[in-house]
Amino acid sequence: MATSLPDFPPFDTESEPTSLGIQWKKWILRLENLFVALDIKDKARQKALLLHYGGANLSDIYYTLASEDDKEYQQVKEKLDAHFEPKVNVTFETYNFRQLAQEQDESIDKFVTRLREAANKCDFHDKDREIKDQIVQRCLSERLRRKALREDPSLLNLLSAARAIETADAQARAMESPSILKVSQQSRSSNERVDEKLASKNEQKDQSAGGKKECFNCGGPWPHSNGRKSCPAWGMDCWKCGKKNYYPRKCKSTIKVRKI
């Protein structure tokens, strides 16, 4: 009784030439995992499925390499391995790996994922060691780099330390930001009260000196008929110092306020 075959993507023979060999290795490993999952052990059937799932382009390539002795899966696979292997430029892929650096706002886990993908295209004897060295050289955290140079941990321990540093930094920012904002607001409020007192004293001096009286906030006649809050400048923001209740041209503040 015929059974339906599960879906499996064909091999893309038109992918980037410099990485075609690596893509072939990945594809054939996935196919062999499918054989294990379906308990397909017959070598002739494995060969048929390789050519079936590989797609028309892969079959065309194979038939230019085929011989009458190719009876089983392993023989077909070896010829295709030999065909695609020269397409891997290990020197170029190693160069690309060496250029990788952690980007701003990129977590250590995302950085390591990029490193692993690039390392798979390189002929490294000790892949974990190469990835660890690249993290130490091109990570953003000075603390992590110093720890690695001081202790020379394994890749697993280095990643554990990196995640701990990222978590601690995020928690510290969450705790510190509200405090900084509160102190800044308190400082601003205090400075505004000081300026209001100075303005009030100056206005009183002007009144006691006699003559024409001028409002220190708007420059108009003093006093205002309906009290201080009827001043045209009341509620206005001074763009020079960031405080309220007077025009910029009447600003006499000597206190610099850091805007938030």
* The domain boundary residue, chosen from 40, 64, 87: 87
Alpha helix ranges (H) inside the chain: 20-38, 43-54, 56-65, 73-84, 90-99, 108-119, 127-138, 142-151, 155-209
Q: What's the pLDDT at 211?
A: 52
Is the residue at 139 inside a domain? no
Each as own residue / partner, the long-range contacts of residues 234-241 (CB below 8 Å, 24 or more positions apart, any chain) are 241/195
Q: What's the pLDDT at 192?
A: 58
Instruction: Write the DSSP symbol of residue 122.
Output: S
Is the residue at 109 inside a domain? no
Number of domains in the chain: 2
Q: What's the pLDDT at 136?
A: 96
Q: Amino acid identity, residue 248?
A: P
Is the residue at 126 inside a domain? no
Range of the domain at 82: 17-87
* The domain boundary residue, chosen from 87, 106, 126: 87
Is the residue at 146 inside a domain? no
Q: What's the pLDDT at 50?
A: 94
Which residues, 6 or more positions from 58, have their beta carbon under 8 angstroms from its beta carbon?
Answer: 10, 11, 13, 51, 80
Is the residue at 102 inside a domain? no
Is the residue at 189 inside a domain? yes
Question: Before 223, cis peptide (omega within 30)?
Answer: yes
Which residue's structure tokens are 């992590």?
144
Q: Over the stretch 17-50, which tens digit does the pLDDT of each residue have?
A: 777 888 898 999 999 999 999 999 999 999 999 9
Is the residue at 57 inside a domain? yes
Is the residue at 71 inside a domain? yes
Q: What's the pLDDT at 258?
A: 47
Task: With a cut of 50, list the residues of the chain below it in pLDDT.
Answer: 1, 208-209, 258-260
* The domain boundary residue, chosen from 87, 102, 131: 87
Please provide residue 214's backbone torsions phi and psi, each rounded to the nearest 5 degrees.
-125, 140
